[in-house]
Amino acid sequence: MPQHINPNIFNDTVERVPNRNGFGEGLKAAGEVEKNVVALCSDLTESTKVSDFATAFPERYFEMGICEQSMASVASGMAAMGKIPFIASYAMFSPGRNWEQIRTTIAYNGANVKIIGAHAGVSVGPDGATHQAIEDIALMRTIPRMVVIAPCDSNEAKKATMAAATYDGPVYIRLAREKTPVVTTSGSPFTIGKAEIYLERNKDHAKKIGIIASGTILHGAMTAAHALNEQGIGVSVMNLATIKPLDTEAILAFAKDHDALVTVEEHQVAGGMGSAVAEYLSEVYPTRVVRLGVHDRFGQSGTPEELVAYYGMDEKEITKTVHALVD
């Protein structure tokens, strides 16, 4: 196990925290360091965890009402005057509903705005498909200048938020609703644009598979890989928290060190993180890449576990996919 990974991650007693909580802590911490940080929210202040910041800095918090389109452009205007706005809603509404405002008034305009899309992925659960954003990575990574980050847990969400506050330019941070296992520690390294290998394959095994995961679903990849290494297949796991800009150097080295790759994300396989990896490798180092995610379908109501399993992204599906690649 590499340094700075929660030593408890393979135990049932692993601590579970929604990664949006880490965002809430990070925003408040960023606000303490940088007085120009402001927060805007569209009637979801508590569930997006902007509430920590709103309580600490009421004069820098703006309740926008249910107006996601205007929120994006108001933030652009504030950025033009030197503020560092964070806009928060559910990913389905921001960047889902306000994509054009984000493209034109934030990215094209060169506005230093941070977009927080909470409740992304099918693990939103019982709210159903209308509230499960599984297209947001594709929407955001095609916009020039946009940085796209999907933190794997609350610790990483906190660090990503603080890093976004000091980064000059638009950033999208994708968050989940559910309590998910804490994979990292407060000391784990995080740098925008840098992938980290969280689990090294057992070098004694001849068969070598690399798993690349983004977001809270990373934990399932870790537990699957851990078991597979004990079963005689060498499986590594990379945390690709920053989906754009892509850490091409790390991905190329990872591809060279393995026979095939599996990508896992709570997103449509079209246009997501797995697509980004496959697009890059197909040009420089053609590698077999199996993408786990949602295959051109909408979500539905259910428990997070049921849905992640049904759409084929859970530990069981990852294990099955690795076996199919080596058998």
The backbone region for 101, taken as left when phi is positive above 0, alpha when psi lies in -120 to 50, beta otherwise, is alpha
Minimum gap (Å) between residue 170 Cβ and another protein = 13
Beta strand 208-213 with 242-244: parallel, antiparallel or unpaired? unpaired
Q: Is 178 a catalytic residue?
A: no
Report how far residue 115's alpha carbon sits from residue 102's, in angstroms, rounded to the nearest whole number. 9
Question: b vs e for 238-259, b when ≥16 Cβ sit within 10 Å of the residue's Cβ?
Answer: bbbbbbbebbbebbeebbeebe
Minimum gap (Å) between residue 165 Cβ and another protein = 16
Minimum gap (Å) between residue 127 Cβ and another protein = 24
Report how far residue 279's alpha carbon sits from residue 284's, in angstroms, rounded to the nearest whole number. 9
In the chain, the DSSP E strands lie at 16-18, 37-41, 61-63, 84-90, 114-118, 147-149, 171-174, 179-181, 196-199, 208-213, 234-239, 242-244, 260-268, 289-294
Minimum gap (Å) between residue 89 Cβ and another protein = 13
Minimum gap (Å) between residue 135 Cβ and another protein = 20
Nearer to another protein, 75 or 134 (CB): 75
Report how far residue 26's alpha carbon sits from residue 241's, in angstroms, rounded to the nearest whole number. 16
Nearer to another protein, 19 or 101 (CB): 101
Rounded to 5°, the CA angle 318-14-165 comes to: 85
Report how far residue 83's alpha carbon sits from residue 113's, in angstroms, rounded to the nearest whole number. 9
Minimum gap (Å) between residue 86 Cβ and another protein = 13
| Tokens, residue 137 | 């990575």
Please name the residues in contact with 300: beta carbons below 8 A apart, sequence gap of 6 or more. 128, 129, 307
3-state class of 181 per DSSP?
strand
| Tokens, residue 181 | 């296992």
Nearer to another protein, 75 or 281 (CB): 75
Binding site for another protein (CB under 8 A): 38, 59-60, 62, 64-65, 67, 69-83, 85, 100-101, 104-105, 108-110
Nearer to another protein, 7 or 82 (CB): 82
Q: How far is C-alpha 201 from the geometric centre of its chain's CA atoms? A: 23
**Catalytic residue among 68, 135, 196, 265, which?**
68
Just list the catalytic residues: 68
